[in-house]
Amino acid sequence: MRVIVVGGGIAGLSCALSLHAAGFEPRVYESARAVEAVGVGINLLPHAVRELAELGLADELDAIAPAPRLLSYRDRAGAPVWEEPLGLAAGHRWPQYSVHRGRLHLLLLAAVRARLGPDAVRTGLRFRRFEQTEGGVRAHFLDRSGGAHTAGTADVLIGSDGIDSAVRAQLFPGEGPAKGNGVRMWRGVAPYPRFLDGRSIVVAGHTPGDKFVAYPIGDPAAEGGEAQLNWVLEVRHDPAAPPPGGAGRRVTAAEARAGLASWTLPFVDPAALAERSPAIAEFPMLDRDPLPRWSFGRVTLLGDAAHPMYPMGMNGGSQSVVDARVLAWCLARESDPTAALRRYDGLRRPAVNAIVLANRGLGPEEIIARAAEHGGPLPAGRAGRISLRYQELSGATPAQVDAHPSWTVPRDSGDSAR
């Protein structure tokens, strides 16, 4: 079976590795002219780490990312309102990782090229459209280096081209742009001394637009006492007068200092983070309405193309990795590609759509919003119920992650569709 994967980000590369492990030889088409180590921090939750470990990447992940042990929700003055263990400390068989997005991206790219060949990922090709026939899919691309048009044929096409997916736009032409909630995120990475115990994720503040997040994406013990600290400040702008520049707008150090001036936290100096960050970029907080279906014949969606969500609960990237594994499993278990994509749709779409909607309702970060209303920490039972409800919804409790059957397809499986 021939598979075209549109989009060479974390979702698309995870998909390519999953398909290869299931016995397929996919080809990835990426719009960017080159894949580079850009971005800031991302968290991989245990349900995603399990899937990457089963793809043989456990040691590589452990080498590039620290494993946080504690999630600490704090009020605007930095006082704890709720804390819970993470990863192995929470009883999982697999850790959680906080990693630089660019380093993870290059790790996945190297694995794809090593396993599928140096030409498995083709860059500089912007997806234009597809058409389906009874026996396959033909995808059209624009070569950004010279303006030529090229096309590829396959049995299945997977759109994993992000929140502004061109594949999704063809499937749902009237959808329009992604939707925002008025919050913009200033994101940076800075070298910083040991942060709390060196293994904590802190989410401080109240509601979206009044939050500060920080966590290490490097190990201070291995980096001379300082490590890369990922930080995010949420701000609100007047919707009638948004700042110029759009997503990725560069925020000056002076602007960042002014935005951070009202934050006095005992465990970190926000102004120092602004000064130490080589670049600070602004991104709107966006999502899209859940879709009634992802799969149309031989075409389907995956990752942010299927379910972009607000970054509550650290779940977006992790769910994309799980998408990839489930999709590969379905294609290997069904002789008819259209039946496989319908099966994948039924397994993943309802569950992830529910997470999108939960994140609009603050997800687990409801804890700090309710604590602000309460005037202090919530009763432990109430905070614990909010956290557990979200974990169960996202399939992230230790029992759910550790006990479900593997999505790995035995290479000698007699019912695999090759």
Domain contains 401:
no
- 194 and 339 in a single domain? The answer is no
Whole-number pLDDT of residue 243: 57
Neighbours of 109 (CB within 10 A): 22
- 50 and 129 in a single domain? The answer is yes
Predicted confidence (pLDDT) per residue in 129-171, tens digit: 999 988 899 999 999 988 899 999 999 999 999 999 999 999 9
Burial label, 245 (beta-carbon count in 10 A; 0-12, 13-18, 19+): exposed
HSE at residue 379, side-chain half, CA atoms within 13 A, is 3
User: In the structure, what pLDDT confidence band is assigned to residue 248 with cuts at 50, 70 and 90?
Assistant: confident
User: In the structure, what pLDDT confidence band is assigned to residue 290 with cuts at 50, 70 and 90?
Assistant: very high
Domain contains 356:
yes
**Cα dihedral across residues 157, 162, 166, 169: positive or negative:** positive
Listed range (35-39, 61-65, 231-235, 248-252) with the worst mean pLDDT: 35-39
- 116 and 148 in a single domain? The answer is yes
**Average pLDDT of the residues in 309-335:** 96
Look up residue 365 and give its two tokens: 């970060």
Whole-number pLDDT of residue 390: 97
The residue with greater pLDDT, 16 or 34, is 16
C-alpha 146: how far from chain center: 32
Strand, helix or coil at 247? coil
HSE at residue 403, side-chain half, CA atoms within 13 A, is 7
Domain contains 275:
yes
Is pLDDT of 294 > 50? Answer: yes
Whole-number pLDDT of residue 36: 80
Listed range (44-48, 329-333, 413-417) with the worst mean pLDDT: 413-417
Whole-number pLDDT of residue 278: 94
Predicted confidence (pLDDT) per residue in 59-117, tens digit: 999 999 999 999 999 999 999 999 999 999 999 999 999 999 999 999 999 999 999 99
Question: What mean pLDDT value characterizes the chain?
Answer: 93
Return the H-helix or E-strand segment holding 6.
strand 3-6
**Average pLDDT of the residues in 26-55:** 93
Is pLDDT of 418 > 70? Answer: no
DSSP assignment letter at 306? T
Domain contains 108:
yes
- CA 189 to CA 217: how far, in whole Å? 9
Which residue's structure tokens are 């000064």? 275
Whole-number pLDDT of residue 414: 45
- 248 and 302 in a single domain? The answer is no
- CA 164 to CA 305: how far, in whole Å? 7
Domain that holds residue 120: 3-64+100-177+288-366
Domain contains 405:
no
User: In the structure, what pLDDT confidence band is assigned to residue 240 with cuts at 50, 70 and 90?
Assistant: low
- CA 206 to CA 183: how far, in whole Å? 13
Strand order from edge to edge, sheet including 299-301 = 121-122, 27-29, 3-6, 156-159, 299-301
User: In the structure, what pLDDT confidence band is assigned to residue 371 with cuts at 50, 70 and 90?
Assistant: very high
- 30 and 105 in a single domain? The answer is yes
- 116 and 170 in a single domain? The answer is yes
Structural domain tally of the chain? 2
Residue type, 290: P
User: In the structure, what pLDDT confidence band is assigned to residue 223 with cuts at 50, 70 and 90?
Assistant: low
The residue out of 217, 252, 287 marking a domain boundary is: 287
Q: Is residue 51 a contact partner of residue 325, using CB atoms and an 8 Å limit? A: yes
- CA 311 to CA 316: how far, in whole Å? 7
- CA 187 to CA 229: how far, in whole Å? 11
Q: What angle do CA 21, 139, 120 make, to 5 degrees?
A: 35
- 204 and 277 in a single domain? The answer is yes
- 344 and 276 in a single domain? The answer is no
Listed range (24-28, 253-257, 339-343, 359-363) with the worst mean pLDDT: 253-257
- 294 and 359 in a single domain? The answer is yes
The Cα diameter of the chain in Å comes to 63
The residue out of 319, 337, 366 marking a domain boundary is: 366
- CA 247 to CA 250: how far, in whole Å? 9
- 8 and 117 in a single domain? The answer is yes
Whole-number pLDDT of residue 37: 73
**Average pLDDT of the residues in 34-59:** 93
- CA 377 to CA 375: how far, in whole Å? 7
- CA nearest 28: which of 14, 16, 19? 16
Plot region of 189 (φ>0 → left; ψ -120 to 50 → alpha; else → beta)? beta
CA distances from 408 to 18, 21, 28, 61 (A): 8, 8, 21, 19
- 299 and 360 in a single domain? The answer is yes
Predicted confidence (pLDDT) per residue in 172-187, tens digit: 999 999 999 899 999 9
Residue 256, φ and ψ in degrees, nearest 5: -65, -40
Domain contains 305:
yes
- CA nearest 46: which of 69, 64, 17, 63? 69
Residue 205, φ and ψ in degrees, nearest 5: 125, -145
Listed range (39-48, 231-240, 275-284, 372-381) with the worst mean pLDDT: 231-240
Is pLDDT of 188 > 60? Answer: yes
The residue out of 268, 287, 306 marking a domain boundary is: 287
Which residue's structure tokens are 């279906």? 293
Look up residue 264 and give its two tokens: 């006095």
Q: Is residue 74 a contact partner of residue 202, using CB atoms and an 8 Å limit? A: yes
The residue with greater pLDDT, 402 or 288, is 288
CATH assignment of the domain containing 224: 3.30.9.30
Strand, helix or coil at 124? coil
Look up residue 62 and give its two tokens: 């452990």
CATH assignment of the domain containing 133: 3.50.50.60
- CA 321 to CA 21: how far, in whole Å? 14
User: In the structure, what pLDDT confidence band is assigned to residue 231 with cuts at 50, 70 and 90?
Assistant: very high
Is pLDDT of 282 > 90? Answer: yes
Predicted confidence (pLDDT) per residue in 19-28, tens digit: 999 999 999 9
User: In the structure, what pLDDT confidence band is assigned to residue 33 with cuts at 50, 70 and 90?
Assistant: confident
- 116 and 21 in a single domain? The answer is yes
Strand, helix or coil at 121? strand
